[in-house]
A and B are shown apart, each in its own frame.
Chain A
């Protein structure tokens, strides 16, 4: 197994590798206990990363998101996780106290902090490591098949390093009322290392669920924390007529490089609704890919990214319309202050068979700082003729007439801006259907907008 490390060092990728990745991958592979299929997956992942390395600026998918900063870092084995108390998590919990909660600290499920409660028969919510250990057939069938190691350099890194994460399975016809919350906590123990948890969610035919993923940082170290890489991969499989509402909240520290890849595979007549919020990270990137693998599917993607200072926030979405009579609807909004940079790339690909596709994509950006920057690329690739596809992108600042209108109604100063920006972002937040989650996020976003203007 140690030979794997040598492969990485002598790879074609050369200097574009992740420093320390080879040692971390070897340590994971040597720790053993992997079933054969997982060992194979890890080997393929290490080989793949050795082959491609970190993407450079010539890579079209990474053209506006430079990774030199990441390539310059040295990653080591993680230190012991800092002790986390339940009270520390209070600010990040949503909705009702009794909702099922899985806490993943520095990449490992913390059983003490998690509370799953009682789920209806046919539903599983727990540690991915446990599911692997008991040889759950769904894990072998799906893990690495929807976000394969060649999907991106970072899906390979994740597959090579993943030890634990979340596993969700909802059996046929089972409807979960309470949202399942996966709270990923990075502590000072992960500083200078790579955290690579993974989520696998499988909804069988006619199942219904709500899943929330939250990424946060809890640090007690003084000064700026040492940079860390969170490389997260989520695979979501929706059976026929299944319905999933997925909320993803990225609130990492400003020292973190956050790279996430969410792959959604939908069967006939299924419904997927996503809300992705990106607030934190020095550099954050989220790929959300939905493959519409049957007719009459509905896919709704809503997103909001907010950045300031030197932050770079990048959202890449791709919707693959492979079958007829599907509908996809996408609205992503961005607020960029100070010297922040935003990147948006939305692909809609309509195959020749996907007749009567109805796809609409919108990306709207608000630049608050004179040095803020956005690179947006809404992209349509259409091979079928009987379709209705549109996209729109706008970039601008707060409207002077709207400001004037507010002032003429006696609203003055900072409140004008806070109100206008909140109104701008409210449209996407309002799309969360779970009322308690929506209310919690409205409050969070309002507080963030207030902080942005202060």
Chain B
């Protein structure tokens, strides 16, 4: 459409740099020894090692990745990956002052200042660099409210009872191929516990960064919101540009006890591969929450990165009157593939779920919405509303919807709507007529298309997400 837009096609992925830092990595390959190495390296108790080994044996039995998703990739060689990579530290970290300045610089470059004094917004951050957490901010402030926010590794040492009770309670180790792999080799991640009746005083945030080559990132996040509590949690991710595909197989478990609320927001911007589809992250993630009586779990995701995304943040509506929400914007450009959506499993009475999914396909991207709404016989009075809209930019991309609706009682009501259309030429014309250039016009239209999702994001993230969307779609109209 316009040459300035075309000129931006090959604009570099902003976060594609590599931090040159001394790393300690596990030998390449996967065996029981690897699992034992990781567990020993993290000084884990015996039960956790046993849990990992059980998961590893289960994974061996599974023999292959799930093939049902609408994604295509070369087989993954699980023996060519290093399952543990950590920046080498001389001594245990006492405070952020002990963190390698190179790491702090990395996060500053990514726009995530870890130094507490620089933080204006009051967001507590846990930064994960390859396999380990390199620093958690605002720990003291949070501790005053009784909130535990730390790396998973620390939680295993400091709150073993909570970890043992809830680990695997929502996503069992045998749940699926990638969840089993994660359970065997997970290295670190974030842990959150909000005590009864507490409203977490600030937004919690984790920033994931893959840096090392030939590694996979297998983090595990566990959030427990005790009765009547509230927490809002944000997650961001980037990785350097590399020619090989790197695997990211994370697990996130949310437990919302009676009347608790968990709001989980993700802005995923892993490296998506180059203009020929070489390289990029395989983002194969299992995310699931369990909502007890009157509890609410809300997932919001903006997925702009990764070569392949395979991800279905889900809610098990176990308690009566519980609420599940899923708001998603998924953008594919270049050669990206995304198969993403949600599962809402209604078990309790009068449970409600809302699904709003916006898919944008450009370039040669393939975008699939795959969702399930399942209402079991005892979930009387259940209600679901689903809306999934797709926008296509160019005729080499694809938009697909695979919604499964399974209703097993007559007092429930389910509505599903979906539409697919192209970005409106008349809309672009209207904007241009008022003095906008094509790029801004597209940005305005796309942001309008996504606004139902963006308004669910916390303020700082919403601004970030809008910018990110602009960058992802650059050069898609030509």
Contacts and interface: CB of A to CB of B under 8 A. Distances in A.
Q: Do A and B bind each other?
A: yes
A30 interface: no
A375 B403 CA distance: 10
A377 interface: yes
Contact of B392 (A365, A385, A395): A385
Given A381-B398, A395-B413, A387 B405 contact: no
A384 B411 contact: no
How would you classify the secondary structure of chain A's contact residues: helix, strand, loop or mixed? strand
Contacts of A369: 410
A382 B392 contact: yes
A370 B382 CA distance: 13
Interface in B205-242: none
A395 B420 contact: no
B405 A377 contact: yes
Nearest to B417: A392
A352 B405 contact: no
A152 interface: no
A98 interface: no
Interface residues of B, number: 35
B445 to A, nearest CB: 14
A130 B410 CA distance: 50
A391 B418 contact: yes
Interface in A230-245: none
B332 to A, nearest CB: 13
Interface in B397-421: 397-421
Interface in B404-452: 404-423
B404 A377 contact: yes
Interface string B177-215: 000000000000000000000000000000000000000
Contact of B411 (A374, A390, A393, A397): A397
A380 B410 contact: no
B279 interface: no
Given A372-B410, A388-B421, A395-B412, A377 B395 contact: no
Given A379-B401, A382-B390, A385-B393, A390 B417 contact: yes
A423 to B, nearest CB: 18
Interface of A: 60, 64, 352, 355, 365, 367-397
28 contacts: A365-B407, A367-B407, A367-B410, A368-B410, A369-B410, A370-B411, A371-B408, A373-B406, A374-B406, A375-B405, A378-B416, A379-B400, A379-B401, A380-B401, A383-B395, A383-B398, A385-B392, A385-B394, A386-B395, A387-B420, A387-B421, A388-B420, A388-B421, A389-B419, A390-B418, A393-B405, A393-B414, A396-B414
Question: Sorted from nearest, which 7 A-B pairs have the closest CB atoms?
Answer: A367-B410, A385-B392, A395-B414, A393-B416, A385-B422, A390-B419, A389-B420
Given A60-B68, A382-B400, A383-B397, 14 more contacts: A355-B395, A377-B404, A379-B402, A379-B403, A380-B420, A383-B395, A385-B393, A385-B422, A387-B392, A390-B420, A391-B401, A393-B414, A394-B416, A395-B412
